[in-house]
Amino acid sequence: MNHQQWKVRTGLLTAAVFIMIGSNAWASTLTQNLSWTINRANTSAKYRVTSYGDSIYSGYNTSLFNIALFAAPTVDADYLQVKWNADMEVMRRSKAGALASGVYNEKIVGERSYMQTSNTRVVTFEMCGNDGLQARSNLKGQSGVCNLGVLNTALNNCTTYISAAMSYINANKGANVRVRNIANLFYPGYNADNVLSTCTVNGARVNLRDTFLPYIAKMNWRMCNYANTYGFSCTDSFAQFMGRDYDSNADGQIDSNALRYVAGESEATYVTRITSTLKSTLRDANGHMVNSTTSYDYIQSDDTHPTYAGGTVSTGIWPGGTASGSSAPDYADSSYVGGKNPVWNRYGHERMGWGVSVFNPATP
């Protein structure tokens, strides 16, 4: 069974709409929420997945007016309706372009009620991508002596709000929440960043990818390490997106498994493993290899956001808003093999949603 496109609202975009959308109309952030129910036949129970994040969890698809229905949190909910034989409610509270501080203050704290209902079973979040992207853009535009302080600021802010978010969720979640989860960062533009900077360090231009990679690795280690501290699970999107699903270097491990965060491993050891020991196994997620001959594109044409299966849902005729509606399950139960749907490794959001789902308990 293929994904189906479920359209919620339609409207004509008049000239007035385009007049109001100027170059600064939506500034650097755009609210894109989703309220959706997956209706499973012959069930009466309904449980909720609540997610908080930026454009990744919003299902951003480069449009101001619609979002991908099957972004990672919805994919997780679709796995749960099979596992729990129940209807699943998905509440995605997201702001495209938001820094970690914005995700924390405006979404997790400001919209805490969505994780406090008695039927909420999963709370998952992602953040820090825009902190990294903005720091990267800043460094790429520099001349003279490179100011690496922008990267350190992004790392420090990310660290602050990861910890704050987990602590706040623990203190404010609903009493029946079974899964608390964070998804870490993949590296969009991995190939594009393999160029020299226009600024210099010690008089020499530096390779941008080699400069950015240690910072992403530190962010990711801290996300998963804090997850251990605060009782969260950690979906390692970096390993799942950037590593091949076979053993490319003959070390006896599938690359995407070898790259995973290891509980108890020090930050320094993890960073060395990602940036040096296993760096040769990293691959741009635009061509994620599921075996030695087959690849799938995990990144959209903007070289930033994950690809998705199926269609989009409308957030209205104005930029930003909430999409809402319901649909039947995406796949027949018989199509799941080994707990995986038929497209689990073919799209970025499908891979991330599956990565969240592996932490779901057997019963609600």
**pLDDT tens sequence across 30-52:** 999 999 999 999 999 999 999 99
pTM given for the model: 0.92
CATH of domain 15-357: 3.40.50.1110
Amino acid identity of 215? Answer: Y
Buried b or exposed e, range 311-334, using 16+ CB within 10 angstroms: ebbbbbbebbbbbeeebebbbeee
Averaged pLDDT for residues 55-69: 96
Q: In degrees, to the nearest 5, what angle opens at C-alpha 290 toward C-alphas 284 and 292?
A: 90
The domain segmentation of the chain, as residue ranges, is: 15-357
* pLDDT-wise least confident of 13-17, 153-157, 265-269, 306-310: 13-17
Task: Please report the pLDDT score of residue 25 as a whole number.
Answer: 35
Task: Please report the pLDDT score of residue 28 as a whole number.
Answer: 75
